Amino acid sequence: MSGRPAEPLYLQRRSYRMRRVIDACRLLPFLGGLLWLIPLLWPQGGEAAFPTSRAVLYMFGVWAVLIALGALISSWLPRGEEAEDSAASPAAPVRRAEDAP
């Protein structure tokens, strides 16, 4: 079926930017998850035990960084109609003249 126009290989610069911002937004929770897994590697118990105060600082530090990144990315994310285009189909569907019934 040839009804769907092929996706163009290269997008306009702006659309390209938008898509990368969306990628960043999608990746952010994974970054957060990864950073918050690090505490599991810390030594536990005994002499070398990791002090809780540093753990608290680390946890909340990561938290603050994630929030800041989230706010930044959200402000860049496409809005409204633009969001539909960049998210759903990479290029707005081109309606060819001969398509008209």
Q: Where along the sequence are the contacts to other proteins (CB under 8 A)? A: 1, 3-5, 22, 25-26, 28-30, 32-33, 36-37, 39-40, 42-45, 49-57, 59-60, 63-64, 66-71, 74-75, 77, 79-80, 84, 87-89, 93, 95, 99, 101
* The amino acid at 16: Y
DSSP 39: G
Which residue has 């030594």 as its token pair? 43
Supply the minimum distance, in Å, between the C-beta of residue 66 and other proteins.
Answer: 6
Supply the minimum distance, in Å, between the C-beta of residue 68 and other proteins.
Answer: 8
Burial of 97 (0-12, 13-18, 19+ CB in 10 A): exposed
